[in-house]
Structure 1
Amino acid sequence: MNPAAQEPVPGPAPEGTPLYVHLPFCTAKCHYCDFFSVADEGQDIGGMIDAILAEAELRAPRRPRTVFFGGGTPSLLSERELTRLLDGLDALTGFRASALEVTAECNPESLDRAKARTLLGLGVRRLSIGVQSLRPEVLELFGRVHSVDDSFRAYEAARAAGVQHVNLDLIFAVPGQSVEEWESDLSRVLALGPDHLAAYNLAFEEETRFKRWLDEGRLVAAPEEVELAMFAATRRIAEGFGLAPYEISNYAAPGEECAHNVNYWRNGPYLGLGPSAVSKVGQVRAGNPRGIHAYRRFVAAGATAFAFGECLTPRARLAETWWLGLRLAEGVEPAAARATAGCVEDPCPAVHIAEGLAATGHLELAEGRYRLTERGRPVADAVAAEFLTKLPAVPAAGGAPAPARTTGRPDRSPLGAAG
């Protein structure tokens, strides 16, 4: 028997549950990326679409509130492939009539006006374009296959096709990058007029080329003071272009916040389709197999033998609700967090941690919500660690104390999705 089949399995996703679809194909693997992806050359994309639709028939929620197509590079698919996938998903879920937001990630080299019109006609209303840098040498370092001009052309193509909601992705704190270079590049990108910006500091993730190069001394991480200066400059420049910081790394014009990702940060439920996609339904989080062939076998066997599955304890749910929620500018309302976690203690033990962080100036309590302060925002990960490592066991509603165990951060397949 497959041991994974004995892991907890998510129950049926309720109507309206947000839907994530992972399309793993890329032109080439970026050197910093730890998402599951494979080069598209020689791959059976049609077979993958068949598998995703088969999984959707088994597991997908009806009438999802939001849909996010990530990867990989969804824009790499042909018009025919996109039509078959999105028409099939709509027949199974009815997302075109229900979803308030439908996003597709795109890379500049595979997004032109025709592709943007195709996506728009199939129900996608929001595009997230991976610009990443405006420096040719940085794009080469990243292993990107597009040029700087491609990024400008892709943005113009999306707007010319009638796409009204566009996010642009950028990465800062690149080895050798100066604060002045980042400020210049960011200003040039925002001058285009995107509705949303996702600006992430470069992370050296395990099992990536960048991490190996860092360990070998071929790359040197940006100094902390440079990274902090870039973080501060991002907020200042984005606000100057009318984009408000609503999350640590995300900025939006009024009403243009990414609703799909906000659901993640509010620790809401979600259903993931495709290889490596993660689902959180009820108190169970589970992940699909990462490999192409392993994923297709998983679907053929009924999509129940997940690569991993865990029952989230009240302690885990409480810790994650706080660390995710504090990334948002709106912060965390203690009573709502307690209800999400099913914690019966009053006051909730997480409040004691929040009070301590307020005493050190990292959090503030305003209008009944704890929020990161100017001092806390640059060290949001350290603030999160206080909840993930120090929160004691929490009695479950109607039960004995749950084990004092942290699950760590959720898998990045959905949570690391671009804005």
Structure 2
Amino acid sequence: MTPAALRRTLSTLFIGGGTPTVLDDLLLHQILTACADVFGFADDAEITLESNPESLVERDLDELRRYGVNRLSIGVQSFNTEELALLGRVHDAHQAERAVQVARRSGIDTISLDMMYGLPGQTTASWRDSLSRAIECSPEHLSIYQLSIDDKTPFFRLHRRGELHLPDEDQILAMDDITMELCTLAGFEQYEVSNFRQPGCGCRHNLVYWRNEEYLGCGAAAVSYLNGERCGRIADPRSYCELIEAGTSPVFSRERLDRQASFRETVIMGLRLNEGISDDRLDQRFGCRLQDIYGAELDTLSADGLLYRDGVRWRLTTRGRKLANVVMRELV
């Protein structure tokens, strides 16, 4: 950690990458106090705590609000109990609804729900019902992700053996349409490929990632991006603590991207946002524009109806947002 990093006041803090609400209030308070002592918080700092429904139901969220937490990200995933069981989640739909009610009564400013579609056995009807129940909870923010099958997981092994019955491509596209329909009717704005907000309620912390700006990560498996260098910390929590207590750096990887690689990364992340990517900002930061790097690739994506130019900004079309992974593969 550089001295310059230590002098930066925090405008956002996201405590997550797990379920920090399993910690008791005292430990969470100590984490927030340490951040305030070392860095300080901006007057309008966004402080987010990641949580699961079962870890919220019985706790005193009023205390967390007094500590400065003003945003909760709740990993609901589904309001269908059978789907939750398949995902290995320990909460049910009733607990999820109750957790949101508890969070709302605490007076925390912003509640975000994580939802997932494309689940085994899920239908368009069950997705419509699950998302409708999420919206009925009146969250200010929704993060809605399609299930991805990672290597070395039980789902991957089942999928490889042909025992995992996932929705087909047509069903996934229909679920995308349902998402846009219900979110739009409820007043949500899609501001990133997988994220929807009520007016003024976007996640400022995640916008830093999507705009490829600098951030500091602390804790096991955390990553920082400072002064053009990305640093990864050891993932095992016990080993991480032992290194810290021994006064040894827990950083195990360092990467400094060259100008073109950093440019491409900034474009790929920025295009996930509905605001798109500004040629002027790219020119100020890297000394070049999209056409300089991609040339004919932009013409092809535009001709295919996936990408368009709006003044000095490049944006994904509505169709392009549905096929964002295809676009990103072309631009990587």
Q: What TM-score comes out, normalization by structure 2 length?
A: 0.94
Q: Which structure 2 residues correspond to residues 19-418 of structure 1 after superposition, within 5 A?
A: 60=6, 62-95=8-41, 97-98=42-43, 100-112=45-57, 114-300=59-245, 302=247, 304=249, 306-340=251-285, 342-344=286-288, 348-350=292-294, 352-388=296-332
* Cα displacement (A) at 1:161: 0.8
Q: Distance in 2 between matches of 1:375 and 1:173?
A: 18
* Letter of the structure 2 residue corresponding to residue 172 of structure 1: Y
- Retained in 2: the 8 A contact 1:103–1:124? yes
Q: Distance in 1 between matches of 2:2 and 2:296?
A: 33
More off after superposition, 261-270 vs 207-216: 207-216
Q: Distance in 2 between matches of 1:84 and 1:291?
A: 22
- Retained in 1: the 8 A contact 2:83–2:120? no
Using a 3 Å threshold, how does the CA distance of structure 1 residues 316 and 98 change in structure 2: closer, same or farther?
farther
Q: Distance in 2 between matches of 1:166 and 1:99?
A: 17
Q: Distance in 2 between matches of 1:351 and 1:99?
A: 41
Q: Provide, for residues 93-148 of structure 1, a one-character-per-residue CA deviation record: whole Å limited to 9, x for no partner.
A: 212x4453110111111113743212111111000111111111111111111111
Q: Distance in 1 between matches of 2:33 and 2:46?
A: 17
* Cα displacement (A) at 1:359: 2.0
Determine what percentage of the aligned residue pairs are the same residue. 37
Using a 3 Å threshold, how does the CA distance of structure 1 residues 338 and 352 change in structure 2: closer, same or farther?
farther
SS of aligned partner of 1:272: coil
Q: Distance in 2 between matches of 1:117 and 1:259?
A: 23
Q: Distance in 2 between matches of 1:229 and 1:169?
A: 20
SS of aligned partner of 1:329: coil
Q: Distance in 2 between matches of 1:217 and 1:347?
A: 43
* Letter of the structure 2 residue corresponding to residue 387 of structure 1: L
Tell me the number of residue pairs that the alignment of Structure 1 and Structure 2 aligns: 332
* Cα displacement (A) at 1:166: 0.5
* Cα displacement (A) at 1:300: 3.8
Q: Distance in 2 between matches of 1:346 and 1:78?
A: 48
Q: Distance in 1 between matches of 2:214 and 2:110?
A: 24
More off after superposition, 165-174 vs 86-95: 86-95
Q: Provide, for residues 237-292 of structure 1, a one-character-per-residue CA deviation record: whole Å limited to 9, x for no partner.
A: 10110111000110001100001101110111111000000111121111100012
Q: What TM-score comes out, normalization by structure 1 length?
A: 0.75
Q: CA RMSD in A?
A: 1.9
Q: Provide, for residues 46-79 of structure 1, a one-character-per-residue CA deviation record: whole Å limited to 9, x for no partner.
A: xxxxxxxxxxxxxx55311111011210111111
- Where in structure 2 are there 5+ consecutive unaligned residues? none
* Cα displacement (A) at 1:345: 7.3
Q: Provide, for residues 174-229 of structure 1, a one-character-per-residue CA deviation record: whole Å limited to 9, x for no partner.
A: 11111111011111110121110111000111222222222233313321111111
- Retained in 1: the 8 A contact 2:210–2:270? yes
- Retained in 2: the 8 A contact 1:314–1:343? no
Using a 3 Å threshold, how does the CA distance of structure 1 residues 120 and 351 change in structure 2: closer, same or farther?
farther
